[in-house]
C-alpha cells in the first residue's frame, strides 16, 4: 500500500448493515421545536450550530462513550496552539512503535508539523499523532494532561483523555455533547479545517521519492458537496464514530454520531434535517448594527450607537418572531466615543433574551449653557466673574464721571 499505511478495522463502517437495523433505529430529541429529527442507528448523537453552540437535537448526549480517532480533533487543537505548522518534528522511538493505523514512521525521521497533522487527520495515523504529542509536550502523559486542560476550557465536563490518538483505554472516554464542543472549537482554526476537508493528498515519505497518496476516511466528503469535515474513528470497543460538518450559505452545522453501523447515513440525514428545518438569524453585527440615541445638553441632540459584538440565533423555520427593545438611561453630554450609551435586547420566541451593548460612534461635546448649568463650581465662578466685572465697570464709570466733574471747575 502506498506510503506504507498499515490499516486496521477503521474501515469496518463500510460493512453492510445487519438485517435488524431498522428495529434498532432511534429518533433524537429536538431541543428546539420543529419537525421530528430522523431516526438513526447511532447510540449517541448531537447536532450543533458551529457559531452559537445551539443544540438542535440530541440522542443520549451525556452518556460516556469511547471516541476512537475523534480524539485526534482535540490533539490537533492542542498542537497548533503550541507549535508552528512549519516546525520540523523528529519522530521519537515511542511514536514510531505505535501500531494499528499508521504512516509507518521510523524513529529519527523528520517531518513538519503540517505533514504529520495531514497524516493524522486525513489518514488517521496513530504514529503521527503520537509524534506530534511528544514533540509538543515531551511525553504522551504530559500531552494528555494538556488535552484535558484544553477541553475543560472549552466547557467539556464529562470527558477524559489519556492519549492523543484514540486507541482504546478504559479511562479514555467522551460524550456526544463534549465532542461537539471540541469540534466547534476546531472550526475556529482555518488551517486545521482545510486539512480535515481534504479528500486526498500526496504525503512526503522521508527516504522514498514520490511519497504516496492518502485518502480521507470520511466518505461523506466525496458524497456530499456541502460536507467540509471533520473526522471518523473506529475501534472495536467504540464502534464507528464520526464528527461531521457541513456548510450551506455560510452557515455551518456540526454533527457527532457515536457507535453506529451507518455513520455516513446518520450524519448526512441529521445535517440535512438541520438545514431544512432551521434558520440562522443575525441579530447584531459588531461595528455595523447602528441605532440612534438621544443626547441631552449636547451640541448635537443625537448620537450613533454601534454594536460592540455580533449575535446570532438559530430558530425553527417559519413563525419565528424576534422582538427588539432599545434600553437606555438619560444620556447627558458630554458623550465620549466608545462610551456605552444603550443596550439593545432581543426577546426570542423561546423566552430567551439576548443583550448587545451599544457604544457611541462619535464625541458629542456639551453646550456652554449646559456646562454652566450642570457644574455648580463653574456656575459660581461665572457669577463671581460677573460680579467682579460689574463692580469694575461701575467703579470705572463712577471714576470717569468724577473726573469729568473736576475738570469742569476752574482752578483755585
| Catalytic site residue from 34, 58, 69, 187 | 69
The answer to whether residue 72 is catalytic is: yes
Please check whether residue 167 is in contact with residue 100, taking contact to mean a CB–CB distance below 8 angstroms: yes
| Catalytic site residue from 34, 58, 124, 267 | 124
Please check whether residue 47 is in contact with residue 255, taking contact to mean a CB–CB distance below 8 angstroms: yes
Sign of CA dihedral 380, 381, 384, 389: negative
Who's near 379: CB < 8 A, 6+ residues apart? 372, 373
Instruction: Report the first-to-last Cα separation within the chain, whole angstroms.
Output: 135
Residue 81 per-residue DSSP state: H
The answer to whether residue 260 is catalytic is: no
What is the C-alpha separation between 255 and 275, in angstroms, rounded? 12
Residue closest to 174 by CA, chosen among 118, 134, 98, 233: 233
| Catalytic site residue from 58, 72, 144, 261 | 72
Grid coordinates representing 392 are 469694575
The answer to whether residue 312 is catalytic is: no
Tell me, rounded to whole angstroms, the distance of Cα 173 from its chain centroid.
23
Residue 366 per-residue DSSP state: B
Residue 38 per-residue DSSP state: P
| Active centre residues (catalytic) | 69, 72, 124
Amino acid at each position: 500500500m502506498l506510503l506504507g499505511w498499515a490499516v486496521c478495522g477503521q474501515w469496518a463502517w463500510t460493512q453492510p448493515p445487519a438485517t435488524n437495523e431498522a428495529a434498532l433505529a432511534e429518533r433524537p430529541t429536538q431541543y428546539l421545536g420543529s419537525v421530528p429529527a430522523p431516526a438513526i442507528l447511532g447510540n449517541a448523537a448531537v447536532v450543533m450550530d458551529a457559531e452559537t453552540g445551539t443544540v438542535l437535537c440530541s440522542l443520549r448526549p451525556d452518556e460516556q462513550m469511547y471516541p476512537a480517532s475523534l480524539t485526534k480533533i482535540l490533539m490537533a487543537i492542542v498542537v497548533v496552539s503550541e507549535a508552528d505548522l512549519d516546525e520540523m518534528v523528529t519522530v521519537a522511538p515511542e511514536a514510531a512503535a505505535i501500531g494499528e493505523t499508521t504512516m509507518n514512521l521510523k524513529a529519527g525521521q523528520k517531518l513538519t508539523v503540517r505533514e504529520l497533522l495531514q497524516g493524522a487527520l486525513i489518514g488517521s495515523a496513530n504514529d503521527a499523532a503520537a509524534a506530534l504529542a511528544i514533540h509538543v509536550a515531551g511525553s504522551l502523559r504530559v500531552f494528555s494532561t494538556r488535552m484535558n486542560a484544553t477541553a475543560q476550557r472549552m466547557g467539556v465536563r464529562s470527558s477524559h483523555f489519556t492519549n492523543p490518538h484514540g486507541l482504546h483505554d478504559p479511562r479514555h472516554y467522551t460524550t456526544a455533547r463534549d465532542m461537539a464542543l471540541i469540534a466547534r472549537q476546531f472550526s475556529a482554526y482555518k488551517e486545521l479545517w482545510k486539512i480535515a476537508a481534504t479528500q486526498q493528498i500526496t504525503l512526503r515519505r522521508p527516504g522514498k521519492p514520490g511519497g504516496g497518496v492518502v485518502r480521507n476516511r470520511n466518505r461523506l466528503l466525496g458524497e456530499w458537496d456541502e460536507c467540509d469535515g471533520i473526522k471518523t474513528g473506529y475501534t472495536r470497543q467504540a464502534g464507528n464514530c464520526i464528527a461531521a460538518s457541513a456548510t450551506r450559505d455560510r452557515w455551518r452545522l456540526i454533527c457527532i454520531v457515536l457507535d453506529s453501523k451507518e455513520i455516513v447515513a446518520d450524519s448526512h440525514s441529521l445535517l440535512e434535517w438541520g438545514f431544512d428545518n432551521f434558520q440562522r438569524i443575525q441579530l447584531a453585527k459588531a461595528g455595523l448594527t447602528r441605532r440612534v440615541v438621544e443626547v441631552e445638553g449636547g451640541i448635537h441632540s443625537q448620537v450613533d450607537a454601534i454594536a460592540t459584538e455580533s449575535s446570532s440565533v438559530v430558530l425553527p423555520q417559519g413563525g419565528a418572531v424576534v422582538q427588539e427593545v432599545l434600553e437606555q438611561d438619560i444620556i447627558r453630554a458630554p458623550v465620549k466615543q466608545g462610551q456605552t450609551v444603550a443596550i439593545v435586547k432581543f426577546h426570542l420566541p423561546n423566552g430567551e433574551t439576548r443583550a448587545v451593548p451599544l457604544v457611541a460612534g462619535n464625541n458629542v461635546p456639551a453646550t456652554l449653557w449646559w456646562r454652566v448649568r450642570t457644574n455648580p463650581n463653574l456656575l459660581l465662578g461665572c457669577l463671581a466673574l460677573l460680579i467682579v466685572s460689574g463692580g469694575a465697570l461701575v467703579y470705572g464709570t463712577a471714576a470717569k464721571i468724577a473726573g469729568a466733574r473736576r475738570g469742569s471747575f476752574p482752578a483755585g
